[in-house]
A and B are shown apart, each in its own frame.
Chain A
């Protein structure tokens, strides 16, 4: 009772005064009095109705009517609303005819339609209130749903037809109903009557005869579902409206737990009506729930969010876009603020490539311009520009200066832990953890100092220089690459760094973000990709591949002009020195020359190279590096090749010469091919000669192999030459499905083979068993067994099993045609294997 709103309390008070007068009001709590009185009035109304009953069709019939009509009701949802608002579970179950009775409802509605009485003095406003306090709406709705989809009030109507009412004493019945809500009331009868009169006055005006007419009218309306509905709708609407207005929260609260099922059931009946009915409270119910338990809502909605948006995108893209568009900017901005690193990582790869594509286009444009400038018209202007071009030339030359990447670290941005590091092997090993940690601290420090702790700022420490070394820092969201190098890197290298970082973020962004110090979580590709950064760059003699040629051409022209007498000597000197440094750096940077102490001396006319290398190739290679800088100068290569090493070209020529020589011998039909070999450091190694073909005599085979092996620069011979030693070119044949040596072979061929093997103790024999596919029960196994049989026989005759290998092969020997007799295929062939050569 205490939760009455002041408004309602005032209504109650007024009613109480009306019904009971001032004195009693102070003695009893208003609500204990109110109900029986209200009920009484309603009962009287019922009595009135009963009197009219005689003229109307049987009660059962009419209720059945309205029920069977219910699905076609104009406003089914108002039924539901009505029941949910008005029905009292107790009275529902028991008997309370007062509230459920359509008649009294009608009365209420007619009263409600009167706006004046509505507010101040009518007893009706109390009804929703008393409902609220005596029966929570959710229960009510639940009962509804559980019992049947038929609106409760209609159902109750059927159960308690006016006929039933007639059989009961009204006063008793009310007492029963009341006893469940409040203690039985013991008001004096006369007071009640007075009050009733007062109320009647109030309700129907002084003209009481009017009432009968009204009741009759109601009665008629009852038979017509449409009329009934139109009768009910206003009150329902008003009640609901009032309820929502008075206690939105409560309504929302009450509806929320069942909204889903309610909607489901009801919407099966009438979707539109359902949505209209609930529209008013659902938003509140939802917002209430969001306030109280956002997690549940999120969980309920989240599984279909993606699908819903996708479906909507498919269905009506523009709506979604226009719905999201206004929020997008802010959303991104907020995300930038709260999770900047995630955003940076998300955008880094695209931004990088977009910008570099743009720059690439710009560069192309410049190149085009230069190309145009190189036309005859442009030449004149160019000469004038040449003086200014000096600085450009220097700049580009400087870029051409080889730069050495000493180490690359991939560092976890927040913790400063090294995710991966690669370093050159030939330099002092750096401590990745310490350096990365310090770099991270420095980065933080600089950022804190420069931005004043503004974490939203995007400025980063890009580079730290010390002497001629520097550390490039390329930062993404959760990591950064620290590249420690000497000299000036070409611009392409910076692009390479960025590409690498983009790749890392795209492929392994998660691993990097969540790195917690365990190197095993880092995929090996991360390391190899970073390794590329190191190798690629340091092995690239010309770092500006794909550099616009016209621009390069222009620079060459400029360089030419610079070299023309008239340019002051000092500048020449400086320039020469730069060339020297450039050449030396290029050597140093190349894998094969870096270890040798080579010198370049540039004078006006000459380019002198000095130093010692182990072979001629390296000497020439050293000279090759200078070509770019040689210009008009004559090259004086004074580099000494200490041990004349095999020149691959020479070796190749020698191999061909030997081949020609040995091919003149009878029974030798071979080919030979030379392949130079390099080790991991691209150092030239003794090459390989591959010999193939046939040599009839074993002696010849060995001699030929040795001849090739003796060629300087040849380290290995791969020999697939077939040697046809007399007696070893024979074959052994087998019966169908058999791996049994034939007695003839055992007594003649096997001793022959044995003798040859004993005569040539260096050779080995490969026994190849065959089983043609056409052979019944033929198999690899059988083929193998045939070879095995020959091997065993030879071993039994005293041949070292280590000299014999047995293999099986399904099919025919290569020289046996398919049309040949089948037995030719069931065989074992012998293949001589030459002894290894002593180098």
Chain B
């Protein structure tokens, strides 16, 4: 069994914590400092997943951290090309970032119609659980049929970070 390479993207508005999620997943580190990503940053992590048929598969995961979407600048679709999956991130402290999920979902699906999407509602350590509940409902409304799940994550505490990444890898491999 050989290692297969897979590309995935992190998409979302600026400052929602894309870079932080990757940093938590790849290096298991977190920083409160905000260094906005410019252009693209690619990270890599080797993971091993158990497929549905109980076989193990080694995956070289190439994680494209795209710079956040702003009012003035949307992300370049060409960066999304060839990605089998995307983690679309929103910030629970800024509901407007949840509202723009639709745009990100549509953009990604238009470039990769078969790509798998998981939604991450990030920074859940900063708000009350019941707020998260209603925000999740809001996010649910925006989900398309390519969205396979909504996760309440925190890059700071690490909550659901590994889960969301490994679930996405599974979905990506299923879509192959």
List, in ascending order, chain A residues with CB within 8 A of B60's CB.
433, 517
CB distance from B104 to the nearest CB of A (A): 18
Q: Which residue of A lies closest to B7 (CB)?
A: A415
CB under 8 Å from chain A, chain B span 58-100:
60, 62, 64, 76, 78-79, 81-84
CB distance from A342 to the nearest CB of B (A): 15
Checking B2, B44, B64, B176 against A441 with a beta-carbon cut-off of 8 angstroms, the contacting residue is B64
Known contacts A437-B62, A519-B2; A444/B78 CB under 8 A: yes
Contacts between the two chains (Cβ within 8 Å), count = 66
Q: Complex: how many Å from CA A448 to CA B39?
A: 12
B4 within 8 A of partner (CB): yes
Known contacts A433-B62, A445-B40; A417/B76 CB under 8 A: no
Q: Complex: how many Å from CA A438 to CA B40?
A: 8
Contact with B along A433-470 (1 / 0, CB 8 A): 11001100100110110000100000000000000000
Contact with A along B1-30 (1 / 0, CB 8 A): 011111100000000000000000000000
Closest 7 CB pairs of A and B: A415-B82, A414-B82, A414-B81, A444-B78, A517-B5, A437-B42, A441-B40
CB distance from A429 to the nearest CB of B (A): 14
A412 within 8 A of partner (CB): yes
List, in ascending order, chain B residues with CB within 8 A of A516's CB.
4, 6, 84, 176
List, in ascending order, chain B residues with CB within 8 A of A413's CB.
81
Contact with A along B132-150 (1 / 0, CB 8 A): 0000000000000000000
CB distance from A85 to the nearest CB of B (A): 49
Q: Complex: how many Å from CA A521 to CA B64?
A: 24
Q: Which residue of B lies closest to A437 (CB)?
A: B42
Contact with A along B30-65 (1 / 0, CB 8 A): 000000000110101000000000000000101010
List, in ascending order, chain B residues with CB within 8 A of A437's CB.
7, 42, 62, 64
Known contacts A431-B44, A518-B2, A520-B2; A416/B7 CB under 8 A: yes
Contact A438 B62 (CB under 8 A): no
CB distance from B68 to the nearest CB of A (A): 16
CB distance from B157 to the nearest CB of A (A): 29
Q: Which residue of B lies closest to A415 (CB)?
A: B82
A153 within 8 A of partner (CB): no
Q: Complex: how many Å from CA A448 to CA B78?
A: 8
Q: Complex: how many Å from CA A418 to CA B44?
A: 13
List, in ascending order, chain A residues with CB within 8 A of B82's CB.
412, 414-417
Contact B42 A518 (CB under 8 A): no
CB distance from A484 to the nearest CB of B (A): 17
CB distance from B69 to the nearest CB of A (A): 15
CB distance from A515 to the nearest CB of B (A): 9
List, in ascending order, chain A residues with CB within 8 A of B176's CB.
516
CB distance from B130 to the nearest CB of A (A): 40
CB distance from A142 to the nearest CB of B (A): 43
7 examples of A-B residue contacts, CB within 8 angstroms: A415-B7, A418-B5, A434-B44, A441-B40, A441-B79, A445-B40, A518-B2
Q: Which residue of B lies closest to A520 (CB)?
A: B2
Checking B5, B83, B84 against A433 with a beta-carbon cut-off of 8 angstroms, the contacting residue is B5
List, in ascending order, chain B residues with CB within 8 A of A417's CB.
5-7, 62, 82
List, in ascending order, chain A residues with CB within 8 A of B44's CB.
431, 433-434
Known contacts A414-B81, A415-B82, A433-B62; A517/B6 CB under 8 A: yes
Q: Which residue of A lies closest to B79 (CB)?
A: A444
Known contacts A517-B5, A520-B2; A441/B42 CB under 8 A: yes
Contact A434 B42 (CB under 8 A): yes
Which positions in A face B, CB cutoff 8 Å? Answer: 412-418, 431, 433-434, 437-438, 441, 444-445, 447-448, 453, 516-520
CB distance from B108 to the nearest CB of A (A): 14
Contact B39 A519 (CB under 8 A): no
Q: Complex: how many Å from CA A448 to CA B4?
A: 29
List, in ascending order, chain A residues with CB within 8 A of B42's CB.
416, 434, 437-438, 441
List, in ascending order, chain B residues with CB within 8 A of A438's CB.
40, 42
Checking A416, A444, A520 against B62 with a beta-carbon cut-off of 8 angstroms, the contacting residue is A416
List, in ascending order, chain A residues with CB within 8 A of B76's CB.
444-445, 448, 453
List, in ascending order, chain A residues with CB within 8 A of B79's CB.
441, 444
List, in ascending order, chain B residues with CB within 8 A of A517's CB.
4-7, 60, 84
- The winner among B7, B84, B176 for most chain A CB atoms within 10 A is B7
Q: Complex: how many Å from CA A517 to CA B57?
A: 12
CB distance from B67 to the nearest CB of A (A): 11
CB distance from A253 to the nearest CB of B (A): 35
List, in ascending order, chain A residues with CB within 8 A of B40's CB.
438, 441, 445
Q: Complex: how many Å from CA A519 to CA B4?
A: 6
Given contacts A433-B5, A453-B76, 12 further A-B contacts (CB under 8 A): A414-B81, A415-B81, A415-B83, A433-B62, A434-B62, A437-B42, A441-B39, A441-B40, A441-B79, A445-B39, A517-B6, A520-B2
Q: Which residue of A lies closest to B57 (CB)?
A: A518
Q: Which residue of B lies closest to A448 (CB)?
A: B76
Known contacts A434-B42, A445-B40; A518/B78 CB under 8 A: no
List, in ascending order, chain B residues with CB within 8 A of A453's CB.
76
Q: Complex: how many Å from CA A665 to CA B44?
A: 73
CB distance from B76 to the nearest CB of A (A): 5
Q: Complex: how many Å from CA A434 to CA B62?
A: 8
Q: Complex: how many Å from CA A416 to CA B62?
A: 9
List, in ascending order, chain B residues with CB within 8 A of A441's CB.
39-40, 42, 64, 79
Q: Complex: how many Å from CA A438 to CA B39?
A: 10
Checking B3, B64, B81 against A519 with a beta-carbon cut-off of 8 angstroms, the contacting residue is B3
Q: Complex: how many Å from CA A431 to CA B7?
A: 15
Q: Complex: how many Å from CA A447 to CA B81?
A: 14
Q: Which residue of B lies closest to A478 (CB)?
A: B82
Q: Complex: how many Å from CA A444 to CA B64?
A: 13
Q: Complex: how many Å from CA A437 to CA B40?
A: 10
List, in ascending order, chain A residues with CB within 8 A of B81's CB.
413-415, 444
Q: Which residue of A lies closest to B3 (CB)?
A: A519
List, in ascending order, chain B residues with CB within 8 A of A431's CB.
44
- The winner among B39, B44, B62, B81 for most chain A CB atoms within 10 A is B62
Q: Complex: how many Å from CA A431 to CA B62?
A: 12
Q: Complex: how many Å from CA A516 to CA B83?
A: 9
CB distance from B41 to the nearest CB of A (A): 9
List, in ascending order, chain A residues with CB within 8 A of B64's CB.
416, 437, 441
List, in ascending order, chain A residues with CB within 8 A of B5's CB.
417-418, 433, 517, 519
CB distance from B53 to the nearest CB of A (A): 16
CB under 8 Å from chain A, chain B span 84-136:
84
Q: Complex: how many Å from CA A437 to CA B7?
A: 9
Q: Which residue of B lies closest to A453 (CB)?
A: B76
List, in ascending order, chain B residues with CB within 8 A of A412's CB.
82
Known contacts A433-B62, A437-B42, A516-B176; A447/B78 CB under 8 A: yes
Q: Complex: how many Å from CA A751 to CA B6?
A: 74
List, in ascending order, chain B residues with CB within 8 A of A415's CB.
7, 81-83
- The winner among A447, A448, A516 for most chain B CB atoms within 10 A is A516
Q: Which residue of A lies closest to B77 (CB)?
A: A453
Q: Complex: how many Å from CA A765 to CA B44?
A: 63
List, in ascending order, chain B residues with CB within 8 A of A518's CB.
2, 4
Q: Which residue of A lies closest to B6 (CB)?
A: A517
Q: Complex: how many Å from CA A211 to CA B39?
A: 95
List, in ascending order, chain A residues with CB within 8 A of B7's CB.
415-417, 437, 517
Q: Complex: how many Å from CA A418 to CA B64?
A: 15
List, in ascending order, chain B residues with CB within 8 A of A447's CB.
78
Q: Complex: how many Å from CA A414 to CA B79?
A: 8
Q: Which residue of B lies closest to A435 (CB)?
A: B42
List, in ascending order, chain A residues with CB within 8 A of B39's CB.
441, 445
CB distance from A221 to the nearest CB of B (A): 68
Q: Which residue of A lies closest to B83 (CB)?
A: A415
CB distance from A339 to the nearest CB of B (A): 14
Q: Which residue of B lies closest to A431 (CB)?
A: B44
Q: Complex: how many Å from CA A333 to CA B161?
A: 47
Q: Complex: how many Å from CA A413 to CA B4?
A: 17
CB distance from B115 to the nearest CB of A (A): 11
